Amino acid sequence: METYDFKKYQAWIKKQAWKISKKYSLDYQDVESQGYLIYVETIKKHIPEKGSFFTFLYHRMQHLNTYGKKQCSLRLKLLWVENFDFLITYDEFISRLELYDTIATELSSNAQLILKYLFSSGKKKYSRTAVKHYFKENYQWKPKKFNSVWEELTVWWDIFAHSKIKNYGV
């Protein structure tokens, strides 16, 4: 009978969580907690006759990457105005930010450029890779520059989303 000694897998789970948190610029503790949930679910679903626990855990831990992608995409979805069926435009968004005395004016011009692109293209979802490609092709941005600006925008969005969206009544 196979045992599921948590200590045996804990360091590996932490390493996977660290990779995902860095890859998607997420809070490490949130990702680590998700990794532990995956571990518990894996114990419940593991059938020893079908293979080793670690092999099954390894494959199930791919859900951690999916979690990272989903959390990252939540930051990039266009802002839906509460109780309305339309998307606000970039200009409306910026004017409301100013009303709420946010840090929008502290964004670099490059971060504002990305934000404007996200709002003006009309899409509901964006992949980091697609946005990166757009700025490489249209503005000749190098990966290092894009990553730096993206990180700035990500930090700003996290602050905005946690402090302002809840108060966004129309």
Number of domains in the chain: 2
What range defines the domain where residue 93 resides?
Answer: 78-167
**Statement to judge: residues 25 and 94 lie in one domain:** no
User: Does some domain include residue 32?
Assistant: yes
* 64 and 110 co-located in one domain: no
Q: Which residues of 122-142 are buried (b: 16+ CB within 10 A; e: fewer)?
A: eeeebebeebbebbeeeeebe
Residues 98 and 141 in one domain: yes
* pLDDT value at residue 55: 93
From its phi and psi, is residue 51 left (phi > 0), alpha (psi between -120 and 50) or beta? left
Element (H, E) at 163: helix 143-163
Evaluate whether residue 1 is within a structural domain: no
pLDDT of res. 93: 62
Q: Exposed, middle or buried by CB within 10 Å (0-12, 13-18, 19+), for 18? A: middle
3-state helix, strand, coil in the chain (%, to 5): 75, 0, 25
Q: Do residues 63 and 115 share a domain?
A: no
Domain-ending residue, one of 31, 53, 74: 74
Asked whether residue 114 falls in the same domain as residue 70, the answer is no
Both 106 and 156 in one domain: the answer is: yes
Cα angle value 64/70/102 (rounded, 5°): 125
Residue type, 11: A
CA dist list (Å): 56 to 15, 38, 107: 17, 11, 44
pTM, entire model: 0.48
Residues 85 and 163 in one domain: yes
Same domain flag for 63 and 94: no
Verify that 83 and 163 share a domain, yes or no: yes
pLDDT, residue 170, reads: 32
Q: What is the pLDDT along the chain (170 residues), one digit of tens a residue?
A: 567 888 999 999 999 999 998 887 788 999 999 999 999 999 999 999 999 999 999 999 999 998 888 776 665 554 333 333 345 565 666 665 554 444 456 788 898 888 778 766 666 566 788 889 999 999 999 999 999 998 888 777 766 655 544 444 33
Same structural domain, 54 and 105: no
155 in the same domain as 92: yes
CB 92 within 8 A of CB 104: no
**6: CB partners within 8 A, 6+ apart:** 39
